[in-house]
Chains A and B, each alone.
Chain A
Amino acid sequence: MRYELDARRMLCPMPVIKAQNKIKDLAVGDILDIFCTDPGALNDIPAWARINGHVVLETSEQDGDIVVTVQVNE
């Protein structure tokens, strides 16, 4: 399943916390697109994912938002 998370206007580490809490409820293989506006998320979400064993499939920009796509792995 593919899900979306709105973390716009949140400053780090809130987007990471929101992503972490959402991913807790997802199944292995699920994909989460996290929409952020704090550029810090480009660094923090991938760092969080690496530490916790998840995979960042892509980081992109869409209409001024930063989108980090994570696949749940553990």
Chain B
Amino acid sequence: MEEQHKAVALISGGLDSMLAVKVLQEQGIEVEGINFYTGFCVEGHTHAIRNKDKDKQKRNNALWVAEQLGIKLHIVDVIQEYKDVLLNPKHGYGANMNPCLDCKIFMVNKAVEWVKENHKNGFDFIITGEVIGQRPMSQRKQTMPIVAAESGADDILLRPLCAKNLPATKPELEGWVDREKLHDFSGRSRKPQMALAKKYGFTDYASPAGGCCFLTDKNYSDKLVDLWKGRGSREYEMDDIMLLKVGRHLRPKGEYKLIIARDAGESKYLEGYRKQYTSIQATSHNGPLALIDGDIDPEDYSHAASIVARYGQGRDADEVEVLVSIPNQEKQNLKVQPLSSEQVLEDWHI
């Protein structure tokens, strides 16, 4: 009997990788999916922290895609390793802090390792949903061979959606896959993908506007750069990148910033950080919970509290009582006058 060749697919949760898998399944190829969690991935659930998004569908798109396709999905935590990709991208950043080309190389390289580990189970090539010209940085004709070469995947990396525009890879040359039945998509248009989705009966798929992660978001990138600047170092931990997704961020002084919840859902989420961060919340009025990130001078507590009070129901009161909770220290009660909206300076907002 002919040997069965299996592929591992990079699954982002978007339509393209979903289609790439389906194209190969149509040829009778068994596929399993792999999804990398960098910490920056766009997740419905982090939006779900906020009240207003409560009704939004809570699903992990990569899992959803895998279920639609009937394939196994391995989710891999790459948070630590990804730091080096983000901090030192050889090929630089895209429009924001997104190191897309290095990111792709990194992920394909991880898939190469996975194939080596699982070769005994019949896995011998990798597929991605990449399309030439689809993304300005990472998916261009010139970058396709760079990803293949620098990831170490070389000719075992197949892109079913644009394979016909690229030199034949091993799975095609060896006849495991019929090149004729692959596609020749190129350019930024989404029409070919949408037509193919229709043919396969895929509806309700996710279509993230920017990319697969928060690093393509200007606002998020600004907050990340501010965090590094404020600390004087580009180190970050998982908690940092999570907190960048929550609340309004204000930096009234270089040494510290305030993370102020925008609604009850966010206040509840920030509660979980009270053991690690100094927090401020009004006690005389309803108001948001705020965390202080950085080295605040205790003399600045009042000022910070008057900013936080501005965002609660006591904003028009002459005086608001607040509680400052410092981890492992006595709590402090303060009375402050909330700042007016003009006093909260525009350039404090990150």
Interface residues of A (CB under 8 A from B): 9, 11-14, 16-17, 20, 37-40, 42-44, 47-48, 50-52
Contact = CB atoms under 8 A, between A and B. Distances in A.
A12 B242 CA distance: 11
B74 A13 contact: no
Interface of B: 37, 41, 43-46, 48, 58-60, 62-64, 66-67, 71-77, 242, 272
A39 B45 CA distance: 8
A44 B63 contact: yes
Contacts of B60: 12-13, 16, 40, 43-44, 47
Nearest to B59: A43
B229 to A, nearest CB: 25
B242 A13 contact: no
A17 B75 CA distance: 6
A52 B73 contact: yes
Given A17-B75, A44-B59, 10 more contacts: A13-B41, A13-B60, A14-B37, A20-B75, A39-B48, A43-B58, A44-B63, A47-B67, A51-B71, A51-B73
Contacts of B71: 51
B75 A16 contact: yes
Contacts of B73: 48, 51-52
A9 B242 CA distance: 11
A29 to B, nearest CB: 20
B261 to A, nearest CB: 16
Contacts of B66: 51
Contacts of B43: 11-13, 40
A65 to B, nearest CB: 13
Contacts of B64: 47
Q: Which 7 A-B pairs have the closest CB atoms?
A: A40-B45, A47-B63, A12-B45, A44-B60, A17-B77, A40-B58, A9-B272
B72 A51 contact: yes
B279 to A, nearest CB: 16
B63 A16 contact: yes
Nearest to A8: B272
Contacts of A42: 58
A50 B45 contact: no
A24 B77 CA distance: 15
A48 B46 CA distance: 18
A37 B268 CA distance: 11
Contacts of A51: 63, 66-67, 71-73
B176 to A, nearest CB: 24
A26 B76 CA distance: 18
A52 B72 contact: yes
A5 B44 CA distance: 23
Nearest to B35: A13
A44 B73 CA distance: 12
Contacts of A38: 45, 48
5 contacts: A13-B41, A13-B75, A38-B48, A39-B48, A44-B63
B81 to A, nearest CB: 14
A43 to B, nearest CB: 5
Contacts of B75: 13, 16-17, 20, 48
A63 B177 CA distance: 53
A38 B44 CA distance: 11
B108 to A, nearest CB: 20
A13 B62 CA distance: 10
